[in-house]
């Protein structure tokens, strides 16, 4: 027979864990709804910018220049976006697997999120800067320090490629760690069969392309931040739901054990009393 006081303490502990997990699940669920509405409003603008860039590449034969620039091997500037906190299931582990398979010791790294900074320090990556991801929805102003760093390193030719590693939000259940090589701009296969239109550019297509690049950087960086934030909240919501369900199952099992042990104790006491009366 198990100690009833110890079982009661374990029941109380598992119930507390279930309550805390449920609260965290509800917080993440409320944040997810806000993120989805923001992403839905932002996506049309982002898609339009990317479409314009691809149209210029296709229609004005700039694709060769873009593709050739990506053939030069050199150091990369890699942005790693991770949560500040854990309790996200396998999200952080999967993200760092992708990071460690892609980033070299000679590459430059900008860590966004405390987990990314800790991982970069652990593996002795060449960290240029680190930023906190925060617990609130990312602001648009947060991307400008990132863009300035990217511009400075690419213009100075210290790097030949700029990449962002983050977790893409597909839906509430699925989040996937991806590597997005944003520059040099890759030719999008969706535009291979694009009907060429004779646009008139002022002063010329290359200048228009150059003027569009800051906006292109903005939509890529901000889209990555939003995806990473949404993935964090979704992964935490699922992880906390699983933790709550597991705690509830353990609590129910402990209650059964407690009831059986208590009944066994009562039965033994009755038997002891009956045996005592028979002895007299």
Q: Is residue 175 part of a domain?
A: yes
In-domain check, residue 107: yes
Element (H, E) at 22: helix 4-59
The CA distance from 82 to 114, in Å, is 7
Cα gap 226→137, rounded to integer Å: 8
- Radius of gyration over alpha carbons of the chain, in Å? 28
Band (pLDDT 50/70/90 cuts) for residue 166 is very high
> Residue 116 domain-assigned?
yes
- Compute the average pLDDT of residues 111-125: 89
Summarised one tens digit per residue, pLDDT across range 86-108 is 888 888 889 999 998 898 888 88
Amino acid 72: pLDDT: 54
Residues comprising the chain, all counted: 280
Residue 207 in any domain: the answer is: yes
Better-scored residue on pLDDT, 122 or 190: 122
Please determine, for residue 13, whether its predicted confidence score (pLDDT) is greater than 60: yes
Residue 31 has what pLDDT? 84
CATH number of the structural domain spanning residue 104:
3.40.1380.10
What's the total number of domains in the chain? 1
Q: Measured between alpha carbons, how far is 70 from 159 in angstroms, rounded to an integer? A: 11
Q: Do 91 and 232 touch, CB atoms closer than 8 A?
A: yes
Work out the angle at residue 85's Cα, subtended by the Cα atoms of residues 80 and 86, and round it to the nearest 5 degrees. Answer: 100
Please report the beta strands in the chain, taking only residues with DSSP state E, as ranges in sequence order: 76-81, 108-112, 126-131, 161-169, 175-183
Is residue 222 assigned to a domain? Answer: yes
Q: Is residue 26 part of a domain?
A: no
Domain that holds residue 227: 42-239
pLDDT at site 80: 92
pLDDT given at position 26: 87
* Residue 276 belongs to some domain of the structure: no
Residue 123 forms part of a structural domain: yes
Q: Give the pLDDT confidence of 198-241 residue by residue, as tens digits.
A: 667 777 777 777 788 888 888 888 888 988 898 888 888 888 88
Are 131 and 80 contacting, i.e. CB atoms less than 8 angstroms apart? no
């Amino acid at each position: 027979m198990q100690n009833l006081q110890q079982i009661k303490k374990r029941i109380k502990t598992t119930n507390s864990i279930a309550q805390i997990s449920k609260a965290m699940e509800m917080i993440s669920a409320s944040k997810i709804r806000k993120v989805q509405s923001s992403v839905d409003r932002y996506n049309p603008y982002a898609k339009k910018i990317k479409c314009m860039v691809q149209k210029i590449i296709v229609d004005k034969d700039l694709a060769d220049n873009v593709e050739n620039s990506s053939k030069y091997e050199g150091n990369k500037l890699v942005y790693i976006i991770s949560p500040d906190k854990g309790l996200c299931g396998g999200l952080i582990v999967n993200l760092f697997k992708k990071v460690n398979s892609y980033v070299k010791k000679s590459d430059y790294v900008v860590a966004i999120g405390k987990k990314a900074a800790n991982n970069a320090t652990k593996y002795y990556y060449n960290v240029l800067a680190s930023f906190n991801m925060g617990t609130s929805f990312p602001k648009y102003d947060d991307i400008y320090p990132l863009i300035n760093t990217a511009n400075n390193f690419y213009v100075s030719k210290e790097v030949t490629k700029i990449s962002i590693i983050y977790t893409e939000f597909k839906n509430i259940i699925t989040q996937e760690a991806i590597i997005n090589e944003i520059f040099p701009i890759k030719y999008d296969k969706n535009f291979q069969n694009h009907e060429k239109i004779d646009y008139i550019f002022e002063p010329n297509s290359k200048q228009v392309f150059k003027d569009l690049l800051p906006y292109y950087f903005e939509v890529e960086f901000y889209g990555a931040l939003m995806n990473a934030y949404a993935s964090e909240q979704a992964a935490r919501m699922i992880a906390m739901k699983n933790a709550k369900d597991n705690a509830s199952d353990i609590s129910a099992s402990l209650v059964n054990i407690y009831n059986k042990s208590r009944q066994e104790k009562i039965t033994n006491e009755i038997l002891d009393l009956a045996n005592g009366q028979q002895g007299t």
